[in-house]
């Protein structure tokens, strides 16, 4: 790569646009490189202000070559990729309790056994994902694993499940975070939807800055939360061991009316709601590639640490929730954890610190989805299953479109469900378990094909994982169908169909547009007719006519007049000019300029289908912005109307007004 001395860029100017040419750095004969100045050289005042704001919010642009530096340590990796799973410890217990409470306070002791089963499932899933990390050191998301091993359709189902899931992760986490906040500041309850939407916007902004900065932002709250929860549970265990635990009296209006008898169905529903405990486990195996080397080892250590921390907090909370018979707040204003802290420690700085860190953790847990969704959409877009816009990276190397779409959808769900965690959770876990199951099934198929060292163990582990998560997925559909899971069952196939349609479009297009040999070699040009609209005979028209004459000797000018008299008067002036060019006049009694012009041009195209009709449109460009408002933009409107016509080429001749 030849690198020459870089000339100083010169500020651009409307009068001398040519100086902008120096903005490119010449690397060799016909080889140039754009610089950071190239980005900014073509902005107006408004653009410049916007860019300054953007730089302030998102930092300076990064070149593609700067990518490799954006990697994570284990400590930061746990914060970025583990926060989704760890944060669900803040509401998993509560969601179990909330279902069980339907059968009365007496059955709340079932909380701990259900939690133990869930931790057992978690262990199986974690072991399964260790196998994924082993098999796909570059990062093996459910989509990739399902698609490679089970085929496109299975991959797309997994992808659809994951996309729904990412959106709901953001909605649920942020809603739960706001709930942790309103536990300390009940006055904010009325504002919960606005706070949640604002939090999603802030998350999106953070992610538009880029992944490393995002991680730094999120490390502190997760470790404060972990320390707080482990401290709380340790203190509670100490008081339990010393027999000094207080007794719990719920607020009188919280006492649950017994809404349902205790049944297997109810226990299954409680289990299914508690299954949010497993969300986010796959994030680490998806993102092996973002760890610092050696990526695989770091990912496995982080995954195990995450599972152990989660299990400890979840079981501890479930134990004490069952022990005290804590009741859930029917209005979803105060969380179970907040009640527990107030009971054991009382209100005070500890309560505030733990709840705030939980709130921040939950809100930033949504960040896992902000890492996952755009990446998944990028992979899908590269395979033509999503619009190619999702494959483009912005100035800061992040997937701008994916981040914005995710934020928009999550805000929609938060508003639609009025920020209720319990309502959102009914839609949530189904997608998770569909993706789990397909991923584990894919791994089974993988091991059978590769048969490398340890394949039998891997296959067994993944087989068990697939069976367990598949069973939970089916269970979730059956018990939560009428409560909202049906929506997911409608959307998932629609998403798959959409992705297939998108792929169909790109495939058709590529096939149709592909070159055949010789297409680029010189060919006899098609016969050409030039058509020029003329409203007034003036300088812009004269410049256009000179250009038109250089294109072809076959020129026709068209004049649209409001009356026959005006048309005849124009023809008289035209004949005086002695151009020798034929003039067509069209009387337009309805005073419309555009449609008669289109009608005439189409008639020319019809008369000679082999001919290219070149429409030369002169256009004067006023000097001051407000002067544009004083013109009807007929030239521009004609241009827009002609853009998509077969055999019609539009030539735009600008005339820059100087005074």
Q: Closest approach of Cβ 529 to a second copy, in Å?
A: 13
Q: Closest approach of Cβ 496 to a second copy, in Å?
A: 17
Q: Closest approach of Cβ 167 to a second copy, in Å?
A: 19
CA distance 87 to 16: 57
Q: Please tell me the count of residues contacting a second copy according to CB under 8 A.
A: 126
Q: Closest approach of Cβ 550 to a second copy, in Å?
A: 4
Q: Closest approach of Cβ 431 to a second copy, in Å?
A: 24
Q: Closest approach of Cβ 160 to a second copy, in Å?
A: 18
Classify residue 524 by its DSSP letter. Answer: P
Stretch that binds a second copy, among 271-279, 341-349, 415-423, 513-521 (CB under 8 A): 513-521
- 331/599 with CB nearer a second copy: 599
User: Exactly one of 56, 523, 572, 625 binds a second copy (CB under 8 A); which one?
Assistant: 523
Helix (H, G, I), strand (E, B) or coil at 607: helix
Site for a second copy in 38-57 (CB under 8 A): 38-39, 41-42
CB contact set of 575 (below 8 Å; sequence gap of 6+): none
- Residue 21 engages a second copy in binding (rule: CB under 8 A): yes
Is the alpha carbon torsion for 211, 217, 220, 225 positive or negative? negative
- Residue 18 engages a second copy in binding (rule: CB under 8 A): yes
User: Exactly one of 104, 312, 394, 463 binds a second copy (CB under 8 A); which one?
Assistant: 394
Q: Characterise 10 by phi-psi region: left (phi > 0), alpha (psi -120 to 50), beta (else).
A: beta
DSSP strand pairing (31-34 vs 24-28): antiparallel
- 116/620 with CB nearer a second copy: 620
- 429/585 with CB nearer a second copy: 585
Q: Closest approach of Cβ 558 to a second copy, in Å?
A: 9
- Residue 5 engages a second copy in binding (rule: CB under 8 A): no
- Residue 31 engages a second copy in binding (rule: CB under 8 A): yes
Asked, as a colleague might, if the bond just before 294 is cis with ω within 30 of 0, I would say yes
Site for a second copy in 615-654 (CB under 8 A): 619-622, 624, 627, 629-632, 639, 641, 643-646, 648-654
Site for a second copy in 473-512 (CB under 8 A): 502, 505-506, 508-509, 511-512
CB contact set of 369 (below 8 Å; sequence gap of 6+): 84, 165, 166, 167, 169, 170, 173, 406, 410
Q: Characterise 628 by phi-psi region: left (phi > 0), alpha (psi -120 to 50), beta (else).
A: alpha
Q: Closest approach of Cβ 372 to a second copy, in Å?
A: 22
Nearest to 306 by CA among 87, 132, 72: 87
- Residue 292 engages a second copy in binding (rule: CB under 8 A): no
Alpha carbon of 6 to those of 3, 16, 18, 33, 403: distances in Å? Answer: 8, 21, 17, 10, 35
Q: Which helix (H) or strand (E) holds 650?
A: strand 648-656
CB contact set of 270 (below 8 Å; sequence gap of 6+): 96, 99, 100, 110, 114
Nearest to 419 by CA among 189, 99, 84: 189
- Residue 519 engages a second copy in binding (rule: CB under 8 A): yes
User: Exactly one of 1, 46, 241, 264 binds a second copy (CB under 8 A); which one?
Assistant: 1
Helix (H, G, I), strand (E, B) or coil at 561: strand
- 305/528 with CB nearer a second copy: 528
CA distance 202 to 206: 6
Site string for a second copy, 369-388 (x = CB under 8 A): ------------------xx
CB contact set of 87 (below 8 Å; sequence gap of 6+): 173, 176, 222, 225, 280, 358, 361, 362, 365
Stretch that binds a second copy, among 154-162, 204-212, 424-432, 593-601 (CB under 8 A): 593-601
Q: Closest approach of Cβ 612 to a second copy, in Å?
A: 7
Q: Closest approach of Cβ 380 to a second copy, in Å?
A: 12
CA distance 466 to 128: 9
Q: Closest approach of Cβ 517 to a second copy, in Å?
A: 9
CB contact set of 337 (below 8 Å; sequence gap of 6+): 90, 94, 180, 183, 229, 317, 354, 355, 358
Site for a second copy in 79-98 (CB under 8 A): none
- Residue 30 engages a second copy in binding (rule: CB under 8 A): yes
- 486/547 with CB nearer a second copy: 547
Site for a second copy in 301-330 (CB under 8 A): none
- 190/652 with CB nearer a second copy: 652
Q: How far is CA 631 from the centre of its chain?
A: 40
The token duo for 374 is 């755009």
Site for a second copy in 562-591 (CB under 8 A): 562-564, 567, 577-579, 582-591
């Amino acid at each position: 790569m030849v690198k020459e001395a870089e000339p100083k860029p010169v500020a651009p100017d409307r009068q001398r646009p040519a100086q902008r040419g120096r903005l490119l750095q010449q690397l060799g004969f016909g080889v140039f490189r754009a610089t950071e100045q190239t980005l900014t050289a073509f902005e107006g005042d408004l653009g410049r202000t916007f860019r300054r704001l953007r730089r302030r919010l998102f930092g300076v642009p990064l070149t593609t070559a700067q990518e490799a530096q954006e990697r994570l340590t284990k400590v930061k990796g746990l914060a970025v990729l583990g926060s989704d799973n760890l944060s669900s410890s803040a509401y998993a217990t509560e969601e179990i309790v909330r279902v069980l409470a339907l059968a009365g306070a007496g059955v709340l002791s079932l909380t701990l056994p259900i939690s133990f089963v869930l931790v057992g499932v978690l262990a199986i899933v974690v072991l399964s994902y260790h196998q994924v990390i082993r098999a796909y050191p570059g990062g093996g998301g459910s989509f990739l694993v399902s698609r490679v091993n089970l085929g496109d359709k299975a991959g797309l189902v997994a992808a659809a499940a994951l996309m729904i899931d990412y959106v709901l992760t953001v909605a649920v986490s942020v809603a739960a975070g706001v709930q942790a906040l309103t536990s300390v500041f009940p006055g904010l309850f009325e504002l919960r939807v606005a706070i949640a939407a604002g939090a999603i916007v802030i998350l999106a902004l953070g992610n538009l800055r880029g992944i490393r900065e995002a991680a730094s932002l999120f490390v502190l709250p997760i470790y404060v939360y972990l320390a707080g929860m482990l401290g709380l549970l340790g203190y509670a265990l100490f008081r339990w061991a010393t027999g000094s635990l207080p007794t719990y009296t719920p607020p009188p209006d919280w006492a649950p009316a017994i809404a349902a008898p205790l049944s297997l169905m109810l226990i299954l529903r409680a289990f299914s709601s508690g299954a949010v405990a497993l969300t986010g486990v796959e994030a680490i195996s998806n993102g092996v590639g973002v760890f610092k080397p050696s990526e695989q080892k770091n990912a496995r250590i982080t995954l195990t640490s995450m599972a152990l921390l989660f299990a400890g907090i979840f079981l501890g909370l479930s134990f004490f929730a069952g022990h005290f018979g804590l009741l859930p707040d029917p209005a979803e204003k105060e969380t179970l954890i907040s009640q527990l802290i107030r009971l054991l420690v009382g209100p005070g700085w500890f309560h505030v610190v733990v709840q705030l860190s939980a709130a921040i953790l939950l809100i930033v847990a949504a960040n896992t989805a902000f890492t996952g969704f755009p990446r998944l959409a990028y992979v899908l877009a590269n395979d033509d299953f999503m619009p190619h816009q999702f494959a483009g990276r912005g100035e800061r190397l992040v997937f701008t479109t994916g981040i914005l779409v995710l934020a928009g959808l999550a805000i929609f769900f938060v508003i639609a469900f009025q920020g209720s965690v319990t309502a959102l959770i009914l839609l949530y876990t189904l997608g998770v378990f569909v993706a789990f199951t397909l991923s584990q099934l894919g791994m089974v198929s993988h091991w059978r094909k590769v048969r490398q060292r340890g394949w039998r163990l891997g296959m067994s582990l993944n087989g068990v994982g697939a069976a367990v998560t598949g069973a939970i997925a089916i269970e979730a559909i059956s018990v939560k169908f009428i409560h909202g899971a049906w929506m997911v069952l409608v959307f998932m196939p629609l998403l798959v169909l959409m992705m297939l349609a998108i792929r169909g479009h790109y495939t058709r297009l590529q096939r149709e547009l592909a070159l055949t040999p010789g297409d680029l070699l010189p060919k006899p040009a098609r016969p050409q007719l030039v058509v020029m609209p003329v409203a007034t005979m003036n300088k812009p028209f004269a410049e256009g006519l000179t250009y038109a004459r250089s294109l072809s000797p076959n020129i026709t000018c068209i004049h649209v007049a409001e009356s026959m008299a005006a048309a005849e008067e124009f023809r008289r002036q035209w004949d005086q000019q002695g151009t020798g060019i034929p003039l067509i006049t069209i009387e337009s009694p309805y005073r419309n300029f555009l449609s008669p012009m289109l009608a005439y041009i189409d008639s020319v195209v019809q008369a000679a289908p082999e001919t290219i009709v070149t429409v030369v449109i002169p256009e004067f460009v006023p000097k001051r912005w407000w002067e544009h408002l004083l013109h009807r933009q007929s030239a521009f409107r004609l241009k827009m109307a002609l853009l998509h016509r077969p055999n019609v080429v539009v030539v735009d001749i600008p005339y820059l007004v100087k005074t």
